[in-house]
Amino acid sequence: MKIKKRKHDAVFSKLVRERANYCCEACGVNKRHETATLDCAHVMSRRSVWLRWHPKNAVSLCRGCHMFYTEHPFDWSDWCRENLGADLVAELRLVSNQRVKWLPKVREDIYKHMKVELKCMNERRTKYDSKRLEFAQHDLMHDFEGG
């Protein structure tokens, strides 16, 4: 079953890639000028609606690393535990089992929130060329202890 992509997914992907300054968080390669080869990879599947657009559930990976970890899920689990923290991965796994269906108005609020976060992040990036910038999750999403 293919997951339907929404405009939210495109903005979220930009947020995750910008947060990492368009670098692969696994191998470190910089893809700022080749954004088509840099992906937003989810720790827990995008099928988990509760976590689909949560900042702590995604990392920026080059296409090569993303394909490798997609084909080697045990290596992906190990990488996530080592780089994001075992506590965060356990919390994400627990939350991923929660059932939720975002109402259209809430989905639109989440989308608007992500657009504002992306604009702020882009402004910060021009002022401070830091390697990693964070963005805030929407108020209705869980805040995790780990990671």
CA distance 65 to 47: 21
For residue 1, with 0-12 CB atoms within 10 Å meaning exposed, 13-18 middle and 19 or more buried, which class applies? exposed
Question: Is the predicted pLDDT of residue 147 greater than 50, yes or no?
Answer: no
Highest mean pLDDT among 62-71, 91-100, 127-136, 137-146: 62-71
Classified as helix, coil or strand, 120 is helix
Return the SS3 of 59: strand
Q: 1 versus 56: which is more confidently predicted?
A: 56
Q: Where do runs of H (alpha helix) occur along 1-147?
A: 7-19, 63-71, 73-84, 86-96, 104-127
Q: Residue 30 has what pLDDT? A: 85
Cβ burial 75-93 (10 Å sphere, 16+ → b, else e): ebeebbeeebbeebbebbe
With a CB cutoff of 8 Å and minimum separation 6, the contacts of 32 are 21, 22, 23
Q: What is the pLDDT of residues 47-89, one digit of tens each?
A: 888 899 999 999 999 999 999 999 999 999 999 999 999 999 9
Q: Is 108 helix (H, G, I), strand (E, B) or coil?
A: helix
Supply 1's token pair: 């079953």
